[in-house]
Structure 1
Amino acid sequence: MLAQLISISSIERPYVALGLEGSANKFGAGIIRHDPDGSTHVLSNVRHTYITPPGEGFQPRDTALHHREWALTVINEALKKAVVSMHDIDCICFTKGPGMGAPLVSVALVARTLSLLYRKPLVGVNHCVGHIEMGRQITGTQNPVVLYVSGGNTQVIAYSQQCYRIFGETLDIAVGNCLDRFARVINLSNDPSPGYNIEQEAKKGKRLLPLPYATKGMDVSLSGILTSIEAYTADKRFRPDGPSAEDGEDIITPQDLCFSLQETVFAMLVEITERAMAHIGSRDALIVGGVGCNERLQEMMGIMSRERGGNVFATDERFCIDNGIMIAQAGLLSFRMGFETPLAKSTCTQR
């Protein structure tokens, strides 16, 4: 499938695809159109997020229930915004994995139901490839080194010999998971997302506190950093509500911790990305995934890329954060090359 996504033949008519994404706490539906002149049009991109109270994560069972409850509303809104009906759709694309098992199953069930009701072919899509293909489409970059950073994935990827190949990755938890878990420790809101709120708090930080710097060749390890940053919250200098009038300068605030965590982890990610760029001779980097929205990460990657005579490419939250349109884009590319997922094989995989 991966090799099929690169070389696309010309088409004689427009092709329209519906993409359904729900590998984590967002259910998204997007509709995309490929025209004979080679242009691509995003007709709609709708999503709804399952948000839990501060200090709590989202459980697979509850997230799957959210997806089932919101599926019809989100899909109908996407069709309405795109001014199309299900009869105009050429294929129904869905996230096959990786992701959380129960939410993935809910989305696959919706996709199979629509496929049977409207007699439309199914296309299972790799979630990671969806992020990359949408990033390439929006930014126009041709052959970048990809830094894929999200709640469940942290990978450095490059295209080689007709496949996307992983050059480096996390050895334990993903960077988004690391940020989310620390946000729960300091009781930050989950609205709109824990990572976004950490980014805003980090902008107010003034002290760079020492944390383990754990790059291991082309890989990174983040669980030890999370343990170390959590230990600061038990320090007698830590002030969860900020400094008081009688405090001296030697105090630690939540903003300092957010700043230190971001700076350390992002420096590690920039390092392994630059190493991959040097290895394959690429000067451009593409950031995809939910954490790719982080402006500080984009800034640090931009500095590194410019020093190498290249550029960094990234998208905004419409396309960085999990969405249905990225599944529609990758799925339609596959469908145009003759790929379909038989109903009997429309299963999911968490890995």
Structure 2
Amino acid sequence: MHLSSQHIAFLFPTNSFLAAMTVVIGFEGSANKIGIGIIRDGEVLSNPRRTYITPPGQGKADLLQFTGDMSKCAILHVKMTTCYFNHQGPGMGAPLVTVALVARTVAQLWGKPLLGVNHCIGHIEMGRLITKANNPTVLYVSGGNTQVIAYSERRYRIFGETIDIAVGNCLDRFARVIKISNDPSPGYNIEQMAKKGSQYVELPYTVKGMDVSFSGILSYIEEAAHKMLSSGQCSAEDLCFSLQYCLALTRPSLQETVFSMLVEITERAMAHCGSQEVLIVGGVGCNLRLQEMMGVMCKERGAKLFATDERFCIDNGAMIAQAGWEMFRSGQVTELEDSWITQRYRTDEVEVTWRE
């Protein structure tokens, strides 16, 4: 992992500088990314991240490639650190175990406290830090999660979510079917290809109360891909266009199928909570078209939209550090024997002790 001259200068500061600051380190590893984030009192000092890019048509991540990168990150574990924060879940088992092992090891080597952080909470707190949103309704969209969230009585309450697969997983699996490149990400390449499509293929639109379903859309378009591409009835660009766009009767313009479903349940949650803010977090949240659609809805309601770019939307170590620091300041610490990982760690399981 390459370290810039600014990183080196920060990692080896003078003793007088060390005495005046509080620094925390967050370890992130939930899927095909490994990140180490350094935060000092709400300021992101360093946030390196590596992503394993699979060949087109494949989705397997080989963590062995990143073993060396994790070792190189050892120079980040300097005496200035107040506390280490580990991504405890949810996520894929192998990456979670790998990163947890590193975090536990360095915490014991340096004799520093360790705290397990919920991945979803990390996204929310990073978004609040960067955008300065006060008390937003949160749309959390990523490869493994799709949730509409609002804070109430020391919990981040889930108002709606996917009942089967996440929106990011839907996009990723479709990309593998038509062998779209995974560099820099399947969702980004689908977004670019959709701009070149023109033929519309009608797709299911499935909203069930406050919840959404994407498996039917995926099955439908996978079958359409095999039939229509082989017969020459449409192009891959047309299928990307159709996945993203649908004719919405309530608005005069074309809107993305899956994104319009997400906007609908977010707006319903806002009405329930009386909210005037929306914060989009998670890897899919850096999609500009999703931000544009959500912005239109917010404008019609007189509300504000908050979102970040790929530096903070996509999984990163700084988000674990920020959420962990908020938890640590409110008195939370994880005992070593309790620092296990879990692939199923829901957002609403965490007691939010750092907010009024």
What is the percent sequence identity of the aligned residues?
A: 65
Other structure's SS at 1:209 match: coil
What amino acid is the match of 1:258?
C
Out of 200, 205, 229, which is 2:192 matched to? 200
The answer to whether the Cα contact below 8 Å between 2:22 and 2:80 also exists between their aligned partners in 1 is no
| 1:154 and 2:146 aligned | yes
Structure 1 residue aligned with 2:341: 348
Structure 2 residue aligned with 1:260: 242
Alpha-carbon shift at residue 68 of structure 1 (Å): 2.9
Structure 2 residue aligned with 1:330: 323
User: Mapping of 1:189-338 within 5 angstroms?
Assistant: 189-236=181-228, 238=229, 251-262=233-244, 263-338=256-331
The answer to whether the Cα contact below 8 Å between 1:130 and 1:326 also exists between their aligned partners in 2 is yes
Structure 1 residue aligned with 2:56: 54
| 1:100 and 2:99 aligned | no
- Out of 66-75 and 142-151, give the one that drifted further: 66-75
Alpha-carbon shift at residue 239 of structure 1 (Å): 6.6
CA–CA distance in structure 2, aligned partners of residues 308 and 199 of structure 1: 27
Q: Give ranges in structure 2 of 5+ residues lacking alignment.
A: 1-18, 245-255, 345-356
| 1:88 and 2:80 aligned | yes
CA–CA distance in structure 1, aligned partners of residues 72 and 313 of structure 2: 22
After superposition, give the CA deviation of every residue in 1:7-51 in whole Å (9 maximum; x if it has no partner).
Answer: xxxxx96321000000110000010001xxxxx211000011111
Other structure's SS at 1:107 match: helix
CA–CA distance in structure 2, aligned partners of residues 46 and 91 of structure 1: 18
Change in 2 beyond 3 A, CA 1:273/1:304: same
User: Mapping of 1:8-19 within 5 angstroms?
Assistant: 14-19=21-26
What amino acid is the match of 1:142?
N
Out of 128, 131, 134, which is 2:126 matched to? 134
Q: Give ranges in structure 1 of 5+ residues lacking alignment.
A: 1-11, 35-39, 80-84, 244-250
Alpha-carbon shift at residue 100 of structure 1 (Å): 0.4
Other structure's SS at 2:333 match: coil
Alpha-carbon shift at residue 66 of structure 1 (Å): 3.6
Change in 2 beyond 3 A, CA 1:75/1:229: farther
What amino acid is the match of 1:269?
L
- Out of 254-263 and 123-132, give the one that drifted further: 254-263
- Out of 277-286 and 201-210, give the one that drifted further: 201-210
What amino acid is the match of 1:25?
N
The answer to whether the Cα contact below 8 Å between 1:182 and 1:226 also exists between their aligned partners in 2 is yes
Other structure's SS at 2:226 match: coil
CA–CA distance in structure 1, aligned partners of residues 129 and 226 of structure 2: 46
Structure 2 residue aligned with 1:247: none
CA–CA distance in structure 1, aligned partners of residues 65 and 257 of structure 2: 35
CA–CA distance in structure 1, aligned partners of residues 161 and 44 of structure 2: 31
Change in 2 beyond 3 A, CA 1:98/1:29: same
CA–CA distance in structure 1, aligned partners of residues 84 and 291 of structure 2: 33
After superposition, give the CA deviation of every residue in 1:247-288 in whole Å (9 maximum; x if it has no partner).
Answer: xxxx42211211221211001000000000000001211000
Out of 168, 183, 187, which is 1:176 matched to? 168
What amino acid is the match of 1:51?
I
Other structure's SS at 1:156 match: strand
What amino acid is the match of 1:31?
I
Structure 2 residue aligned with 1:23: 30
Alignment TM-score, normalising by the size of structure 2: 0.85
CA–CA distance in structure 2, aligned partners of residues 88 and 13 of structure 1: 10
CA–CA distance in structure 2, aligned partners of residues 186 and 74 of structure 1: 36
The answer to whether the Cα contact below 8 Å between 2:87 and 2:100 also exists between their aligned partners in 1 is yes
CA–CA distance in structure 2, aligned partners of residues 105 and 26 of structure 1: 13
The answer to whether the Cα contact below 8 Å between 2:162 and 2:212 also exists between their aligned partners in 1 is yes
CA–CA distance in structure 1, aligned partners of residues 68 and 340 of structure 2: 21
| 1:112 and 2:119 aligned | no
Number of equivalenced pairs: 315
Alpha-carbon shift at residue 69 of structure 1 (Å): 3.2
Alignment TM-score, normalising by the size of structure 1: 0.87
CA–CA distance in structure 2, aligned partners of residues 165 and 186 of structure 1: 37
Cα-Cα RMSD: 1.6
The answer to whether the Cα contact below 8 Å between 1:67 and 1:107 also exists between their aligned partners in 2 is no
